[in-house]
Amino acid sequence: MIKTIIIALTALFLPATAMATQDSVVIVTSAGSQPTAIGAADYFTGSVKVDSRFQRSSPARIGGGVVSFDAGARTAWHTHPLGQTLMVTSGTGWVQQWNSEIQSIKTGDVVWIPPGVKHWHGASASQPLVHIAISESLEGSSVTWMEKVTENQYPR
């Protein structure tokens, strides 16, 4: 307990540079400085673009990006070993867990998908959707892709 308090107090009073390692630097990736990635046809249906992608190296394991779905576009069924958070920034869409009802999502909604839960998400049939997707890697993998969502599974 005393050791923890001393470490905490030291961190408060030492300059940040005294506690940082040689490799510790803040990195800013400017908006628009990365190319837009097109959602791979194996994993998406319809027009999907991914911007501002990031994947941090160990010991961090967080990654994500801004995903834009045209109306009717969606992911294939997939899982994440440590779960996924979606923050809807514009539009309307859907998310569905395997063998569960489809849930509507809209601007401002935050969606938590627990680890290992088979699901899909994407735009509604008539409106585009943009969300920030964040997930963590486990042993180098952040997603396991599965079969595509069929036309019968996708609501119209």
**What average pLDDT does this structure show over 19-48?**
86
Taking only the tens place, the pLDDT of each residue in 54-106 is: 888 888 899 999 999 999 999 999 999 999 999 999 999 999 999 999 999 99
**What average pLDDT does this structure show over 28-49?**
94
**Which residues face 138 on adjacent strands?**
141
- Nearest Cα to 138, choosing from 79, 65, 98, 54? 79
Contacts 24+ apart (CB under 8 A), 97-102: 102/155
Contacts of 137 (CB under 8 A, 6+ apart): 55, 61, 63, 81, 82
Backbone Cα Rg of the chain? 19
Q: What is the pTM of this model?
A: 0.82
Q: How far is the C-alpha of 32 from the C-alpha of 52, rounded, in Å?
A: 8
Q: What pLDDT sits at residue 5?
A: 34
